Amino acid sequence: MAIYLEYWVIDNPTERAKLTISLSDIAERAGVSVKTVSGALHGGSARMSDETRQKVKAIAEELGYVTNLAARGVRQGWLPLVGVVSDGLITSPFATEIVRGLDGAARSAGMAVFAVNHSTGQSIGSVLDEVQQFRPRAVAYAAMYHKDVDLPGTLAGAVGVMINCREAAGRVTSLVPDEEGGAREIIRYLLAAGRRRIAFINLPGILAGTLREKGFRAALEEASIEPLGVFPAVRRSVYSDRAPSLVASHVDALLASGQKPDAILCGNDRVAMEVYAALARAGCRIPDDIAVASFDNQVELASRLDPPLTTMALPHRAMGRLAMEILLAGQPEPPHLRKLPFHLVERASV
Amino acid sequence: MAIYLEYWVIDNPTERAKLTISLSDIAERAGVSVKTVSGALHGGSARMSDETRQKVKAIAEELGYVTNLAARGVRQGWLPLVGVVSDGLITSPFATEIVRGLDGAARSAGMAVFAVNHSTGQSIGSVLDEVQQFRPRAVAYAAMYHKDVDLPGTLAGAVGVMINCREAAGRVTSLVPDEEGGAREIIRYLLAAGRRRIAFINLPGILAGTLREKGFRAALEEASIEPLGVFPAVRRSVYSDRAPSLVASHVDALLASGQKPDAILCGNDRVAMEVYAALARAGCRIPDDIAVASFDNQVELASRLDPPLTTMALPHRAMGRLAMEILLAGQPEPPHLRKLPFHLVERASV
DNA sequence: CTGAAAGCGCTTACAG
DNA sequence: CTGAAAGCGCTTACAG
């Protein structure tokens, strides 16, 4: 990966000069050793006279000294960076939340996050090597949607935590949304609102869908209520955004059936949007005739629907924050699977 | 910013050992000097016998050598990183597109992108210093929405390019969407579709809105057609997501007026969604009775509306890509403002 | 409390 | 074509 290009460079002389100031420049000016300067600026606990420390700090400030982390890094063996490898995560609207969670926790520890996309056709090993060249303090792996990920054996030791996915062999601590619990919670909420005839238009062919269906059935069984059925939102067994939607036809069929639902749970907010449209065409009012609830809390969408949509928010930010805490924690815990709770966002559709 | 925590460390012995292999380990094993190893692995043009080069490469491979960029960085004075400072960009759904553009171009040059959020209450100077500690090869500034940014004088030299914003004093090359041109293009498209009575429900109080209105009026004037009017989507003079929507009332008023529109241009896809709802209530068909078009192309939303929404996509990815090309280009051009074209996404609402 | 020196892992002149 | 040495800017034992 040799670099032979000519690059744009910082072209403000003052700004450039600032970045070439070194500890020895400060030491010379202050009449002390480099070690003393290092201690004064970076060594919080290094003992020295307060006078010396203040003097050194003043000179550093005056010269506009900016720490050179690369130099510190070569000494310590690592840079204060946390690498995030993702399977195209960066394209997802949820990515921002995960990264926000990571970033917030990282920065308070003086770390920066750099994300590297695992582009299709590239082996995960080679992406990881790319990341390791920077000698990051820790590495996380993040998935775009909740799934199982097979980490090659040799790499399991290189990744500190998995976000939004489960490491297949259980060798790496994995943080995932509690799909089953989330489904149970929203069903209990619908039951508490007096709804009894509940249908679920689910996302087929993905792990989240499977787990949510379990929660859906469990919560209804708990209340001794028969589910009105679970219907796939799209025809294809593997969920895809491009698959033709079956939502409208399911809604029409449900309305035409003897058992008209009084609540429809949706696999995500987009499905809910289609349900809204189908119900509007049929002249059904939300929530008076039929309550609608879903998963995702895509704010842009959910808050703008009429009525605003009640939906279970995914714990993306929390996963990011917790991931960073685990990475930066003193004592590594043994690998485990941690399910993080959804968060109910009450609006007006129930 | 001294770090005194204990961190999680890579706990796979093989993986950890890999990262401590240095050029001198390889040199020793190969019976050559460190310089030769460096040349063989990283110096594409360094002349040496093919035999030596192959032998060195084989040994590096065998030992699992991973380049230490921190060490190279301390020697060269910079790390192969590009810093992106943003004003909370990371929260925006468009951020991902900008970062994708940056990342793609960066990685083909062997660079990684690290984004640092400019949190509220933090001076831009201190964020920039935080970034400069990593001695990145270049720094970009990105804004969440199209606006003017005042860069303190001393910092103008530290930032190579502004993305989605204009540096107020014109000292830094700035990349922005061509709002005026985008508005002109969509209006021409509506005119070509035979629409003549066109209203614009615009986003008030933001730069994009002002510029789009100019384009809207210019394109209609060009065709000697009188605009049906420009209406603000929200009441507040400063645009905000929380401001109460005026969209429905504007639509109702337009429909009730003598001059019923045959097309409504919307400030963004969410406004369009509200227009859809208002038109549905009034029994108007899209596009038969009234065509609807907008700006943003929030795919999740636009493609799921019924009918799918025709909308102008913002050049976020292109801005990111071009920004990186400018940063990594050999010859820095003099600072200038570059307007990038929108892209018409034809769906079924016109 | 402070200094002089060694060393982190690279790359870059300088010699042969 | 290859080597030995110096040096990048830090931090960390080792001495005083």
What is d(CA B337, CA B305) in angstroms, rounded to the nearest whole number?
A: 35
More confident: B331 or A350: A350
Amino acid type, A70: A
Note which residues in 330-349 of chain A have CB less than 8 A from chain B. Answer: 330, 332
With 0-12 CB in 10 A as exposed, 13-18 as middle and 19+ as buried, what is A177? buried
What is d(CA A79, CA B290) in angstroms, rounded to the nearest whole number?
A: 58
Hey, what are A53's tokens? 């420390």
Note which residues in 191-220 of chain B have CB less than 8 A from chain A. Answer: none
Lowest mean pLDDT among A200-209, A226-235, A328-337, B13-22: B13-22
What is the third-level CATH fold of A13-67?
434 Repressor (Amino-terminal Domain) (1.10.260)
Q: Residue range B183-191: average pLDDT?
A: 98
Give the count of alpha carbons within 13 A of B44, CB side only: 5
Lowest mean pLDDT among A82-91, A159-168, A225-234, B97-106: A82-91
Å from the B76 CA to the C12 C1': 10
Nearest to B319 by CA among B108, B173, B113, B215: B173
What is d(CA B151, CA B159) in angstroms, rounded to the nearest whole number?
A: 9
Decide whether A77-178+317-341 matches A179-313 in CATH topology. Answer: yes
> Nearest-CA residue of chain A relative to B334?
A11
**Interface membership of A133 toward B (CB under 8 Å):** yes
What is d(CA A213, CA A266) in angstroms, rounded to the nearest whole number?
A: 11
For residue B216, pLDDT beyond 70? yes
With 0-12 CB in 10 A as exposed, 13-18 as middle and 19+ as buried, what is A43? middle
Mind listing the pLDDT tens digit for each residue in B226-264? 999 999 998 765 555 566 889 999 999 999 998 899 999
Hey, what are B237's tokens? 């003079």
Q: Is the CB of B277 under 7 A from strand D?
A: no
DSSP state of A237: S
Å from the A35 CA to the C5 C1': 11
Cα dihedral B5/B10/B14/B15 (nearest 10)? -120
Å from the B182 CA to the D10 C1': 51
pLDDT at residue number B51: 86
Q: Please report which confidence band the pLDDT of residue A7 belongs to, taking 50, 70 and 90 as the band edges.
A: very low
For residue B295, pLDDT beyond 90? yes
For residue B2, pLDDT beyond 50? no
Nearest to B294 by CA among B212, B224, B191: B212
More confident: A160 or A266: A266
What architecture is domain B79-177+317-341?
A: 3-Layer(aba) Sandwich (3.40)
Asked whether B172 and B204 are in contact (CB, 8 A), the reply is: no
Note which residues in 41-80 of chain B have CB less than 8 A from chain A. Answer: 42-45, 66-71, 73-74, 77-80
H-run or E-run covering A161:
strand A161-167
Q: What is the domain class of A77-178+317-341 according to CATH?
A: alpha beta
Rounded percentage of chain A residues whose pLDDT exceeds 70: 90
pLDDT at residue number A4: 27
H-run or E-run covering A74:
helix A69-76
Q: Is the CB of B22 under 7 A from strand D?
A: no
What is d(CA A182, CA A216) in angstroms, rounded to the nearest whole number?
A: 9
> What rounded mean pLDDT belongs to chain A?
88
Contacts of B129 in chain A (CB under 8 A): 66
> What rounded mean pLDDT belongs to chain B?
88
What is d(CA A2, CA B45) in angstroms, rounded to the nearest whole number?
A: 10
Mind listing the pLDDT tens digit for each residue in A97-131? 888 899 889 988 889 999 888 877 788 888 899 99
For residue B7, pLDDT beyond 60? no
pLDDT at residue number A295: 97
Task: Give me the residue spans of the domains in chain A.
Answer: 13-67, 77-178+317-341, 179-313
Hey, what are A117's tokens? 């996309």
Rounded percentage of chain B residues whose pLDDT exceeds 70: 90
Q: Is the CB of A30 under 7 A from strand C?
A: no
What is d(CA A148, CA A335) in angstroms, rounded to the nearest whole number?
A: 15
Å from the A226 CA to the C11 C1': 72
For residue B222, pLDDT beyond 70? yes
Q: Residue range B157-174: average pLDDT?
A: 91
Q: What is the domain class of B179-313 according to CATH?
A: alpha beta
Hey, what are B22's tokens? 């240095």
